[in-house]
Structures are given as structure tokens and as C-alpha cells.
Structure 1
Amino acid sequence: MSTKDIQQLIDFISQSGLDEVNIETTDLKISVKRYGQGAPAAPAAPVAPVAAAPAVQAPVASAPAAVATPAVAAPKADTSNYITIKSPMIGTFYRSANPESPMFVEVGDSVTEGKVVCIIEAMKLFNEIESEVSGRIVKILVENATPVEYDQPLFLVEPN
């Protein structure tokens, strides 16, 4: 992992509002934790060159306070018969391919297995997230263009 890759990772973490990220490759192991402004950052534990550690520590220490992920609460009605589509990765959630395009799905839309329901951007890569179930979108649980965590609920689907 080059210094440029590490810097891109730090920039992504600071923009996403994530509090902790762990990455391990054959040459390097990085653990980055953010506690807010003024608090010390967790040092990276390099397996490769030690010079990579200062590049990680300095920008993380000046990172802004973590931003809470805005998520709309689940409906108070009985949701036991709904299936949740969850985020398979951390990144930024988008409901459409670009601002001019229509949303992939809206509340009330029918979805089938394999239909794209959103995009999650992670490290400048845009990943299409497909529905794993056929049914009707009941609730969208995340606001457009907000950070999401791994396994975070994105949609509630009433199965067919």
C-alpha cells in the first residue's frame, strides 16, 4: 500500500463519518480509529516500513468529529414480515446513478431479485447494490448521499 493509497483512505474516512477502519494486506496492517476533535488518534501498526505510520497518524488526528449517520427510524408498525436489504460494505449511499437520473427505487416500487436498488461508493468505486428478494419497497431507511456502515439496513421490503 503506497503513501498515496493511505492518504486516500484517510480522506475517505474523514469524509464518511466512520469511527473505525481496519485494513490488512500481506505487507501492511492499518487500524484507524477516530474519537473526535482534540482526542488522540490510534496509531497505525505497520508490518511494512515504519515511515507509513506518521502519514496515517497526522491527518487522522486533525480529522473532524464523527458525523452521526442520519437514518430514519423503522416504522412502528409490525415489521416482522419485512425483509431488510443491508449494506454489504462501508461507503456513501446513493439512490441514483447521478443527480439528473431518476432514483433506482421509491417507496411502493416492486423489485425483483437482481434489480439495482442503490449505489454505494467506496474508495472512488461505485458499486451497484442489487435486491436479493422480490417484493415491494416499504421503507427507505437511509438518506441519499450519506455514509453507511457494513450491514446497515438500507431498505425494508415486503416479500411477494
Structure 2
Amino acid sequence: MDLKEIQNLIKFVAKSGASEVKLEMDDVKITIRTGSENDTTIVQQVPMQAAPVVQQAAPVAAAAPVAEAAAPAASEDSKYITIKSPIIGTFYRKPSPDKPVFVEVGTEIKEGDVLCVIEAMKLFNEIESEISGKIVKVLVDDSSPVEFDQPLFLVDPS
């Protein structure tokens, strides 16, 4: 397991609200604990080493200012429905570079319409609308990485 995978795991655990997660694989044992002080501790032990490697990180504390900044915008957009990413990956507005975008601001959508594609582990997943309405805002730039549950679109259901 490389450092990038461990960092993604930390972010996922922090967002999930779980207080402790243990992961054991062939050569690695990882325990992630999120405490009340908004810190995350990772203990990584490899059986061949005598002492465990301990790292301290604070992804929950780093995410707090973003949530505070998003609060005023959320009150302005309260009449809109937010379509969020169901997976972690790379967001694409087009099915391929030479094709037009799936939806633009102002596009009327129906339930089941494809809104975008998210690439995860070399698989392209079409993200379909679960509601009908009109696209008010696209919240993510094309070819950008997205996290699980990250807002992608604002839709006016009326």
C-alpha cells in the first residue's frame, strides 16, 4: 500500500464519521482513529520491522474551513437540489474529447439522463440524473479529481 492510497483512506475515514477503522493485509496493518480533537492517527506496522511507524495528520481540521465557507452559499442555493459524486475519480463533462458536453447550464434534464462521466481505476462510470429539472450550475471543472459525495451540479427541480 503506497502513501497516496493511505492518504485517500484517511480522507475517506474522516468524511465517513467513523471513529476507528482497522485494515489488515498480508504485510501491512493500519489503524485509523479520529478523535474529538479533530486529529487522525495512523499506525502502520510491517511484521518485519520491530517498531511501528506512526504518522499524525489532520484532514478533518483542514476540511472545517471549507465547510464554513460553503455554508453561506448553501443558504442562497437552498431551493436547488445538489447532485453529488457517488464515487472518487476524475470528472469529465464529455464522453470523449471530440464530443460535446453532456449538459450545460440551462439544460433541461430528465431522470436517467447522463450528466457526466467519472473515471475510477480506468473505468468510465456514467453518472445519471435521479431527478428532473434544469441545470443551474456546474460545480466542478472538466478533468478535475472529485471526492465521494462532492457536489457536482445544482439543479432547479421546478
Q: What TM-score do the two structures reach when normalised by structure 1? A: 0.58
Partner of 1:89: 87
Q: Is the 8 A contact 1:141 1:154 kept in 2?
A: yes
Instruction: Give the deviation of 1:92 after TM superposition.
Output: 0.7
Q: Is the 8 A contact 2:23 2:31 kept in 1?
A: no
Instruction: Give the deviation of 1:20 after TM superposition.
Output: 3.3
Q: Which has the higher strand share?
A: 2
Alpha carbons of structure 1 residues 44 and 75: separation in structure 2 relative to 1, 3 Å: same
Partner of 1:122: 120
Q: Is the 8 A contact 1:12 1:123 kept in 2?
A: no
Structure 2 unpaired stretches of 5+:
14-20, 33-41, 54-69
Task: For CA contacts below 8 A with separation 6 or more, give which structure has more relative contact order.
Answer: 1
SS at match of 1:20: helix
Correspondence 1:113 to 2:104: no
SS at match of 2:100: coil
Instruction: Give the deviation of 1:126 after TM superposition.
Output: 0.8
Q: Is the 8 A contact 2:24 2:30 kept in 1?
A: no
Runs of 4+ aligned residues of structure 1 deviating over 2 Å after TM superposition are 10-14, 18-32, 42-45, 73-78
Q: Is the 8 A contact 1:21 1:31 kept in 2?
A: no
Aligned with 1:104 (options 98, 102, 105): 102
Q: Is the 8 A contact 2:91 2:144 kept in 1?
A: yes
Alpha carbons of structure 1 residues 11 and 76: separation in structure 2 relative to 1, 3 Å: closer
Give the superposed CA RMSD.
3.7
Aligned with 1:131 (options 115, 129, 132): 129
Aligned with 2:11 (options 13, 20, 37): 20
Partner of 2:144: 146
Partner Cα separation in structure 1 for residue 148 and residue 138 of structure 2: 17
Q: Is the 8 A contact 2:83 2:154 kept in 1?
A: yes
Partner Cα separation in structure 2 for residue 122 and residue 31 of structure 1: 25
AA aligned opposite 2:152: L
Number of residue pairs the alignment of both structures matches: 121
Which of the two has higher C-alpha Rg? Answer: 2
AA aligned opposite 1:132: E
Partner Cα separation in structure 1 for residue 121 and residue 31 of structure 2: 17
Partner Cα separation in structure 2 for residue 13 and residue 102 of structure 1: 36
Q: Deviations over 1:78-98 (max 9, x none)?
A: 311100000001111110111
Partner Cα separation in structure 1 for residue 110 and residue 98 of structure 2: 24
Q: Percentage identity across aligned positions?
A: 51
AA aligned opposite 1:114: G
Alpha carbons of structure 1 residues 20 and 78: separation in structure 2 relative to 1, 3 Å: closer
Instruction: Give the deviation of 1:139 after TM superposition.
Output: 0.3
